[in-house]
Amino acid sequence: MNERVGTSVLRLTGISKVYGEGPTRVDALRPTTFEARAGEVVAIVGPSGSGKSTLLTIIGLINPPTAGSLLINGEPVITDGVAVTNLTTMRRRELGYVFQRSNLIPFLNAEENVRLALEIDGVPAGQARGRARELLESLGLAKRLGALPGKLSGGEQQRVAIARAMIHQPSVVLADEPTAALDSGRGRQVMELFRDSAHAHGAAVLVVTHDHRTLDLVDRVLEMEDGVLSEKQPD
Amino acid sequence: MMDLAVRDIRNDLSRFLLTAAGLGMLMSVVLAMTGIYNGMVVDATVLPDTYGGDLWVVQKGTQGPFAESSRVPALLADRVRAVPGVARTRSYMTLNVQHELEDGETLRFMLAGLSWPDDLGNALPLAQGRALRQPHYELVADRALGLPVGASLRLGRDDYTIVGVTSGMVSSSGDPLVFASVSDALRIQNDLASEALRLERESRVSRVRRSPYGRDPASLARAGSAAPLPVTAPPPVTAILVDVAAGSDVEAVKASLQGWPDISVYTIDEQRELLVRGVIDRARRQIGLFRALLVLISAIVMGLIVYTMTLDKMLSLSLLKLLGAKQRVILRLILEESLLLGVSAYLVALLIGELAFDLFPRRVLVQDMDRLALLGVILGLSIAAGMVGLRKALAANPNEVLAS
């Protein structure tokens, strides 16, 4: 288990997102306060259009909030809706992303896709290669290191994507419907992988999902409805 | 940082190579145009370069013999030779010949006269055989004519034997050059059919009979030099070439000759200048415009290709941005691919040039500077095309990854 586990890695305070104004105003995300700790897997569920993706893009530092503050690892990133640090650097170092479709770079093989996340941050190629191989081997992909994404199965692609999201040991991993394209068995494998990786790497994993079959594998479930985020009580 | 451009190319190598081959073919046309122009200049100056001579004496008021037609009496060579400072004079003449062989094939060439015995053609770039050894019935022909040493060619009413074969000797219009003695060239030029000769002879007899000198030859002696004599001079030549004696001043000799009222005099450099400026200037401008058009088309094609290549990668570029890649990572990816495409196209163009330009019917002369200039143009086009792609690439939105 990673020594960071249990520490607060993500804190949102009064984060909101409003599109338009006057009669066309849409409150995509109402003021939201939320905290995630290293090692925990948090599922965010809710109907389409409820604001899940908006929340994800704000935490992913892709979409600026209208108001509120965001801290990663205790460091202020957004204060009163304004970025106070270099968001590109924060994305590179503190965040990892996994998507419904693996979105691997098609012209890079499995190992290159994973080590790219390190090399982008200036890690020497040899060191990055070693770490990528080690991680992929731990995910059961030792024989698929040189395979291009098109030659990998859906489950293999998602494991490579998770490796890419974890390789640089980010504080927060954001996953958008990561099991939607997988069958039930592989979906559970992916969620187990998130859980294991979160503990191993000391990251908080936020999973936006519609897949209720895997919710028993997460630590917390948050529900989003009409832009309001709330803790979902166990059924 | 791994080389993303090389990996992208490697992923679809056949497409990249096909694109480079297409662009390379386009570039080879640009190179060919340059080579054709250089070849035209060299071809155009083959004759003055071969004949040499410090001064060229031509018909008064003309810029001949390359820029326009010129006729001077062959005996002018003797008058010019008497001028102080003149070491040697040679007659110069050319004529275009189109000859049909027995098998129906047409030979077209320019016949150029060598001033026997001063000029036997020893300065010609002989690839086979020898220069002229006798004043009649021998030819030195260029390889482009397609006839070997020993071949016989019937011109006029005589058979001529090819005794030597040159390489790269063509006229400004691209026809191969064939050299004969000036007297043979004049004979071929003035050859008349037997019936034409008979009629001309009858005509002359008739004219003499009608003339007072024909009826009373003694009146010719009485009239002296004032008599309106029918001209019966030898056939004219095109120009007289003057070699100035060692130690004599070319300009001084030229000045002496320029005082004569029946001739114009040019230095060989002036003749070359007249030739290049007058004869091939229009072709040069035409080729220049065509080349500029090709470069423009290449620029548009290359820009479109790089733009399309960028569009194909937009999701990957968005992902790179989402992962926090710096702008220079994306800049390097796009520009490097564009430059690799340009350089590959350049190599294809060079390869096509090496393999195909020798097969062209006219000389295609590509020099190192032309190759360097093309490389410069291609690098410029690659960077410009890369900028087109880069503009699109930098607009890639990380949100696209989530929306995909």
SS3 A126: helix
pLDDT category, A214, cuts 50, 70, 90? confident
Closest CA to B320 of A141, A107, A190: A107
Residue from A101, A105, A208 to probe the interface with B (highest B Cβ count within 10 Å): A105
- Average pLDDT, whole number, for chain A? 89
Contact B117, B135 (CB under 8 A): yes
Q: What is the DSSP letter of B32?
A: H
B14 touches chain A (CB under 8 A): no
pLDDT band at B217 (very low <50, low <70, confident <90, very high): low
Contact A62 B329 (CB under 8 A): no
Q: Is the pLDDT of residue B231 over 50?
A: no
Q: Measured between alpha carbons, how far is A168 from A115 in angstroms, rounded to an integer?
A: 9
**What element of type H or E holds A208?**
strand A204-208
Contact status, residue B163 vs residue B137, Cβ threshold 8 Å: no
Q: Mean pLDDT throughout A172-196?
A: 85
Q: For residue B69, which phi and psi values (nearest 5 degrees)?
A: -75, 150
> Does the bond joining B361 to the residue before it have cis omega, within 30 degrees of 0?
no
Per mean pLDDT, which range of B98-102, B222-226, B258-262 is the poorest? B222-226
B interface mutation test: which of A48, A100, A116, A171 has the most B CBs within 10 A?
A116
Instruction: Tell me the percentage of chain A whose pLDDT exceeds 70.
Output: 98
To the nearest whole number, what is the mean pLDDT of chain B?
Answer: 87
Q: How far apart are CA A179 and CA A160, in angstroms?
A: 14
Distance between CA A67 and CA A78 in Å, rounded? 9
| Distance (Å, whole) CA B27 – CA B367 | 15
Which positions ≥6 away from A1 have C-beta within 8 Å?
A39, A199, A200
B11 chain-A contacts, CB cut-off 8 A: 106-107, 148
CA distance B358 to B364: 7
Q: How far is CA B377 from the centre of its chain?
A: 25
Residues of A in contact with B324 (CB under 8 A): 88-93, 95, 120-121
For residue B206, pLDDT over 90 is answered with no
Q: Is B153 helix (H, G, I), strand (E, B) or coil?
A: strand
Q: Amino acid identity, residue B325? A: A
Low-confidence winner among A21-30, A104-113, B90-99, B206-215 (lowest mean pLDDT) = B206-215
Q: Please give the residue of chain B at the shortest CA–CA distance from A95.
A: B323
Q: Which whole number is the average pLDDT over A1-26? A: 88
Q: Please name which of A175, A171, A176 lies closest in space to residue A38, comparing C-alpha atoms.
A: A171
The answer to whether B227 contacts chain A (CB < 8 Å) is no
In Å, how far are A200, B346, B386 from B306, measured between CA atoms? 43, 16, 6
Mind listing the domains of chain A with CATH numbers? 8-231 (3.40.50.300)
pLDDT one-digit tens code per residue, B268-302? 999 888 888 777 788 878 888 998 999 899 889 98
Please give the helix or strand (H or E) that residue A172 lies within, else none. strand A172-176
Q: Do A107 and B8 touch (CB under 8 A)?
A: yes
